[in-house]
Amino acid sequence: MKEFFIGSNEAGKRFDKYLFIILSNSSSGFIHKMLRKKNITLNDKTAEGNEKLNIGDSVKFYLSDETFEKFADPKVLKLISTENKPQETIKESLVEDTDLTYAFKEITLKYNPEVIYEDDNVLFVNKPAGLLSQKAQPRDISINEWLVGYLLEKGSIDQKQLVTFKPSICNRLDRNTSGIVICSKSLPGAQKMNEMLKERTLHKYYRTIVKGIIEKEETFDGYLYKDEKNNKVEILPFEKEGSFHIVTRYIPIKHNKNMNLTYIEVELITGKSHQIRAHLSSMGHPLIGDTKYGSIKFNTRFKKEYGLKYQLLHGYRLEFPEMEPLFADLSGKKIIAKLPEVFNRILEDNDLN
């Protein structure tokens, strides 16, 4: 007999959905047959499979070792095989693709991401430019790997929790865009953050410096069409098959006519890949340093003086609405990620701060 207890990340799930995670190599027919025969029980009682799980519920598997090993998820088998081993051994045994401990230490040493807010459900990190939000290739390391490694090192999670829920990012920033990455530590955290991003009740603001002078706040819309082959988008004034309607608001903070620069804040009303960069460029205001949508001639100065080889774009602020009790600490809160050093130097040198 093998027994599992339900934690906060499994609570609220349908019982059969949970069983499909544990016995990932089995069929629906097999699981429901085992339920009927009481070879799988919920709190020592016969279950139908449609029950909602609660924290502390007991799930027992009265299956032979051979049957359990045949149908169980590989991560579950690894966990069981290391239950009585030291924690460090368990960490090593469950690592997939990339060593999470290595990823955490490597990224911390090279990029030193800053945790700017953390509670039981979410974590917000100030991602430096150059660091991936998530892996592009199997051997890459990204904020996703750093996050799990960070939580394991801190003791906020253990390997048992990783079997049914893996903490991960909820929003993506381009590799060379710095700023706030929203990370979920729990299933409720992931569900809430993704819901807010989808419904646009979480307001996201970016900071950048653009070519040209913008003197008043404006909201623009258009249609974004992505060329997947070249990973580049274009902004259209009309709808095209495969395009997305976008809305972006620009708020000038300070401009310098002599330098032909404006420091602005951007609110993403919608959020699509390269939206800010392409939208501003289409209006004649490319971001400084942007090699894809910007002006090569205009960027030469910033590359020479500051070593800037990428777009100067920073996810600066999140603003939360009133929240329910589980997320009360975020209710009405503003989360701010400080600007990178190179951003502050350019602001100061060009009289924009």
pLDDT in tens, 171-227: 999 999 999 999 999 989 999 999 999 999 999 999 999 999 999 999 999 999 998
> What percent of the chain clears pLDDT 90, i.e. is strictly above it?
73
Give backbone dihedrals phi and psi of 186, rounded to 5 degrees, phi first: -135, 165
The predicted model gives 271-291 an average pLDDT of 93
CA 254 from chain centre, in angstroms, equals 31
d(CA 221, CA 235): 9
pLDDT at 87: 43
The per-residue pLDDT for range 112-127, each reduced to its tens digit, is 999 999 999 999 999 9
pLDDT exceeds cutoff 50 at 309: yes
Query: 264 versus 82: which is more confidently predicted?
Result: 264
pLDDT-derived band at 258, boundaries 50, 70, 90: very high
The predicted model gives 228-237 an average pLDDT of 89
- Gyration radius from the chain CA atoms: 24
Long-range contacts of 294-302 (CB under 8 A, 24+ apart): 294/211, 295/211, 298/211, 302/346
For the chain, strand residue ranges (E) read: 2-5, 40-42, 58-61, 114-118, 122-127, 168-169, 178-184, 203-211, 218-227, 232-236, 244-256, 261-268, 313-319, 334-336
pLDDT at 81: 62
pLDDT at 20: 92
pLDDT at 158: 75
Strands 178-184 and 313-319: parallel
pLDDT at 231: 86
Phi-psi region of 85 (alpha: psi -120 to 50; beta: other; left: phi over 0): beta
pLDDT-derived band at 38, boundaries 50, 70, 90: very high
Q: Cα separations (Å) of 288 from 185, 205, 346?
A: 35, 18, 10
Domains and CATH numbers, the chain: 2-72 (3.10.290.10), 94-197 (3.30.2350.10), 203-349 (3.30.2350.10)
pLDDT exceeds cutoff 60 at 22: yes
The per-residue pLDDT for range 320-341, each reduced to its tens digit, is 999 999 999 999 999 999 999 9
The predicted model gives 129-148 an average pLDDT of 90
pLDDT at 97: 39
CA 130 from chain centre, in angstroms, equals 16
pTM of the model: 0.81
